[in-house]
Amino acid sequence: MIIVFGIVMLIGAWQVYDNYYIFSHALDKDLLKYKPVHGQSADESSPITDEMVAWLTIDGTNIDYPVMQGKDNSAFLNTDPFGNYSLTGSIFLDSRCSSDFSDEYSLIYGHHMDYGKMFGSLDDFLNESYLKKHTTGTLLVGRNAEIQYKLRIFAAMRVNSRDKTVFDINKDRIAQYIKDNAAVYTKQENKRIIGLSTCADASSASRIVVFCSIED
């Protein structure tokens, strides 16, 4: 009985440590020192891999991360921006989208972590008053931040992961689809749209998607 109890205690302690490790590395402040500055060359010593295509910041949230893009959409599910295995993965651009964000519709994914880490704060945007207070962000495109775009958040919705308009990158229908189905919607004034997608919870196929427009 003592041995069994000891094993249970060890498993419990490991789970506590594992959860702490995951959450403490989901928003590693050291990552921010590699954030590029528009108009300046990137730090040559940066360990972030060459798959970095942008840096995404949503004002007033913990979202301040490099955006990666792999050959497929599984590449950065469990790989951090340094190329190492990590349960938190990375924020990453859909492999079908143009890396310079020239498409009319681009889609970025991230894990839903507790305490608002990674894309864990996206569900807050389903609250209309919250969205209206958090409408701005910045997208630095390219490893050297060659292009800087301002972002304006204008809508949020809960949608099934198999939705063909949102997740099949349906560029022709997306603007009207958002207008018709968003839980929260304000006027969308610009042509190019970026969707930020995360899991609503671990046990369903529901996704939360927040939509931004790129201000040229």
Measured from the Cβ of residue 39, the count of other Cβ atoms closer than 10 Å reads 9
Task: Answer yes or no: is pLDDT of 18 > 60.
Answer: no
CB 110 within 8 A of CB 92: yes
Helix (H) or strand (E) run with residue 25 in it: helix 2-26
Residue 141: is it exposed, middle or buried by C-beta count within 10 angstroms (0-12/13-18/19+)? buried
Domain architecture of the chain: domains with CATH: 30-215 (2.40.260.10)
% of the chain with per-residue pLDDT over 70: 86
Q: What is the pTM of this model?
A: 0.86
What are the beta bridge partners of residue 199?
207
DSSP state of 85: B
- pLDDT band for position 9 (cuts 50, 70, 90): low
**What's the pLDDT tens digit per position in 92-103?**
999 999 999 999
The chain-wide mean pLDDT, for the chain, equals 87
The whole-number average pLDDT for the span 99-124 is 93
CB 61 within 8 A of CB 47: no
